[in-house]
Structure 1
Amino acid sequence: MWDTLRSAWRVPEVRKKLLYTFFMLLVYRLVSVVPVPGINASVVQEVSQQFDALNLVNMMTGNAFSQMTIMAMGITPYINASIIIQLLTFAIPALERLAKEGGEEGKEKINRITRYTTIVLAVIQSIGIVSGLQSASMGIAQQQKVLIPEYNNFFGKLSIGVAMAGGTALAMWIGERVTANGIGNGISMLIFAGIISNLFNGILTALLTVLGVSQGNTTVVQFVVLLLFTLVLVTTVTFIDLGERRIPVQYAKRVVGRKMYGGQSSHIPLKVLSVGVLPLIFAHSFMAMPGTIIAIFGTNTPAYNWWQNNMSQTSWLYQMITSLLIVAFTYFYSSISFNPQEIAKNINQQGGTIPGIRSGKNTADFLQRITTRLVLFAGIFLAILATLPTLLYVWLNVQIPFAASSILIAVSVSMETVRQLEAQMVMRNYKGFL
């Protein structure tokens, strides 16, 4: 990885792309400290601890949410909008035709629809979250509320929602610029920047506590366990993320004109974690939704007390349901993103066969069987990955300042960025021979 970065830095064109990417990420982090008017950030930090869904948003924005800046929502609405449009593409024939047959113009139309949906979701989610935090602060923060009195009305909340939506639009624009002119996927790079910032702040806070510079309960043993856990987690996730099952394919020889084609061997790479981190995000968002809705209607109700006592993140019931949801969402997302029948059809049309497997339905069944096993392993791995930080906290009383899903996102983005850098280097080497 470091050799790739050093080699890429020596190439002027690639160095320009790297500098552009770093500059845009720096702008994103600088804008992330601009506060939203009308909100008491200190009260938000106290109240938001009740909402599990907000921990995920805060992780992906690099603590911008807990500080209530204009980047508080980050690109979370864009991710939600992308998922919604992606699912609607399979459900609405017009969108499916636009995606498959529209070419570049169709992709641009879908991107435009996604952008508009992002802005609408950003405004709605911002107003809903601020209203929920304001309602929750009634029973917790007696001296101050989330909203200052002048903004505790519809137009005040609307102005806050528009400000946060403006931050989301800016983040979306920065992400698209990085994708077009920089290195890596821009949206992923923004998430990566927020996660790295959050991870660095968490470890630095623990270190300052151990050194006695700041107040806290972290001991030297707990800090060492935290570092070892982080190292083992990064290594394991990297190993699994790079894993793939290669299905051999043999292509038959064929004559076209006076030339003979085919007769070569290839393979179909099936990644172990082809679903990425989406099942984790879906499962945690699904589990956090009931508690968020209950808290909006008041924090002194029997339903809220039951949820807090029985469905906290450290309870066995919460962890069991979350693990089952992760496995279920892994199967669901794999089913809509991988089509063995289509792959078997393409192999057959190109004159290829899998050794020992007949063409057609047998090939599709074979691919489906292999994929099912990989998906089961991926679901169990993601479920264990999601529960490890909580188990470590319960057993050893070690507070993990990050979610396991954040490590998976950071590793995936890092690996993908390195691959793109290597592709840039290969392309430059080929240009040298032309």
Structure 2
Amino acid sequence: MASAAEQLASNLNWGAIGRATELKKRLWFTLGALVVFRFGAYIPVPGVDPAALAEIFAQNAGGIAGLLDVFSGGSIGRMSILALSIMPYISASIIMQILTTVVPTLEALKKEGEAGRKKINQYTRYGTVILAAFQAYAISAGLESQIATAGPVVIDPGVFFRFVTVVTLVGGTLFLMWLGEQITARGVGNGISLIIFAGIVAALPGALIQTLELGRTGALSALFIIALIVGVAAVVAVVVFVETAQRRIVVQYPKRQVGNRMYGGEASHLPLKINTAGVIPPIFASSLLLFPATIASFQGNTGEAGWVQWIATWLGHGQPLYLLSYVGLIVFFCFFYTTVVFNPVDTADNLKKNGGFVPGIRPGKNTAEYLEYILNRLTAVGALYLSAVCILPELLIARGGVPFYFGGTSLLIVVSVTLDTVTQVQSHLLAHQYEGLIKKARLRGKAR
């Protein structure tokens, strides 16, 4: 069976999509949902002056607002109804994953199977509403305090504006959460990841035009732009190679006799990715480091200065302290989040319950220690890889004035989601080919 699957997978071609009716429906549904998401990104929040907002955002683009604007596809810069994007849901999901490892009640729910997962998902949705409401209120209060040369950002500040903004932004986040779940169930790939992917990709043409414009005006040399394109291609190649790389640990299952037949005895493997944590470490590290810059920019508007301003100066893009802190936080979150998503003890117990064992390693505690040893080595390599991919673009952004959209986190998300989506499409094509083989076998059986 495995050899047949590998043979079919090697013969997959994109021309088969035209014959896969179910896959075409899923692709069209995914495309339509992403188009709806992009339309929503241009519907503004009521009561905001676009000209004044654009001026204020241009001043604060180097802070966390610029980072979040990347993930929201420009929705924050336009202050659309989808300005919060899907980030509150992602934050709530990460918090719930962490809590399931430290709270016994949630850990027990996680082990209950489908019913427990549904309960945890419900708690995640409640957390999303709370985080989104908190962030929306902070945004509304922050907008009321901003005054540009064109006038105040909020046309009519007050309780009514804050209420409308909170309801609108929370509703936008919940809509995207629902849309992402629909894409996952009825479309292709992970819906939440595809929404972030669509936001980044939608802004890439503008970033490319901005870069070429800098070259036309002489701010960037033609040689630098060519080197930038080559560098981006090289980073993409490295990301593809590392994200698809695996350390396969051989798992052997013993033979057992049932009646007159022997079952089992086959060897399988346990795949461990080099970068188990994914894009979570750079996202968290960037957010933490950009908070001082964002707070300092708001203080600058009010004419105040203090220790936050001093920290923001030393933690600016390209500064040595910023780069060192960025690498340190990425390494920390790589190891921390890996322990959250992969538990060697649980994996070893599951192997033991199913009769599997790693050759040369005793089941149980010894297997867990062996898996933890391998995982720590892989995580160290993955942390170095993430640090290199994220630091090089940071230097380009700081020293070369390259737009934020060419950052390492953006490239990681785009490449990772693309690989995942292609894998999903190949899985559906493989299932379609299996269905075709089954139908042919049935027709031959009837003909006989």
Q: TM over 0.5: same fold?
A: yes
Equivalent residues in 2 for 1:205-220, closer than 5 Å? 205-210=210-215, 212=216, 217-220=219-222
- Residue 105 of structure 1 corresponds to which residue in structure 2? 115
Tell me which residue corresponds to 1:32: 41
**Amino acid aligned to 1:172:** M
Q: Distance in 2 between matches of 1:4 and 1:64?
A: 37
Counterparts of 2:381 and 2:203, CA distance in 1: 29
Cα distance in 2 for residues equivalent to 1:254 and 1:432: 34
Residues 431, 199 of structure 1: alpha-carbon distance in 2 compared, 3 angstrom cutoff: same
2:179 pairs with 1:169: no
Q: 2:151 aligns with which of 134, 140, 144?
A: 144
Alignment correspondent of 2:129: 119
CA RMSD of aligned residues (A): 2.4
1:219 Cα offset (Å) = 3.4
CA distance in 1, matches of 2:346, 2:74: 43
| AA partner of residue 184 (structure 2) | T
Q: Distance in 1 between matches of 2:261 and 2:340?
A: 39
1:6 to 2:10 alignment? no
Q: Which residue of 2 aligns with 1:159?
A: 164
| Correspondence for 1:262 among 234, 242, 264 | 264
- Residues 70, 405 of structure 2: 8 Å contact kept: no
Partner of residue 421, structure 2:
417
Q: Shift of the alpha carbon at 1:302?
A: 2.0
- Aligned residue for 1:185? 190
Match of 1:285 in 2: 287
- In structure 2, stretches of 5+ residues that fail to align are 1-9, 439-448
User: Secondary structure at the residue paired with 2:111?
Assistant: helix
Q: Provide TM-score, normalisation by structure 2.
A: 0.88
Number of the residue aligned with 2:141: 131
CA–CA distance in 1 between the matches of 2:135 and 2:13? Answer: 41
Instruction: Confirm or deny that 1:351 pairs with 2:358.
Output: no
- Kindly, what percent of the aligned residue pairs are identical? 38
Q: 1:17 to 1:108 in 2, by over 3 A?
A: same
CA drift of 1:236 comes to 0.9
Question: How far 1:160 sits from its partner (Å)?
Answer: 1.2
Q: Deviations over 1:319-343 (max 9, x none)?
A: 1111101100111111122111222
How far apart are the structure 2 equivalents of 1:175 and 1:276?
A: 19
Equivalent-residue separation in structure 2 for 1:5 and 1:160 (angstroms): 45
CA contact (8 A) 1:47 1:133 kept: no
Matching of residues 330-409 of structure 1 within 5 Å? 330-394=334-398, 398-399=402-403, 401-409=405-413
Quick one: distance in 1 between partners of 2:404 and 2:235? 12
Query: How many pairs are equivalent?
Result: 425
Distance 1:190 1:346, change over 3 A: same
> What is the CA-CA distance between 1:393 and the residue it aligns to?
4.2
Q: Residues 13-57 of structure 1, C-alpha deviation per residue, up to 9 Å, x if partnerless?
A: 111111111111111111111111112334334434436222221
SS at match of 1:363: helix
2:307 to 299, 303, 309: 303
Corresponding letter in the other structure for 1:146: V
- Distance in 1 between the 2:25 and 2:72 partners? 26
CA 1:112–1:398 in 2, change beyond 3 Å: closer, same or farther?
closer
Q: Is the 8 A contact 2:220 2:400 kept in 1?
A: no
Q: What CA distance in whole angstroms lies between the structure 1 residues aligned with 2:295 and 2:269?
A: 48
Letter in 1 for 2:151: Q
Give 1:224's match in structure 2, choosing from 220, 223, 226. Answer: 226
Residues 60/348 of structure 1: CA separation in 2 closer, same or farther (3 Å cut): same
> How far apart are the structure 1 equivalents of 2:372 and 2:337?
14
Contact 1:75–1:171 (Cα < 8 Å) also in 2: yes
In the alignment, the residues of structure 2 paired with residue 18 and residue 182 of structure 1 have an alpha-carbon distance, to the nearest angstrom, of 6
2:236 corresponds to which of 225, 234, 241: 234
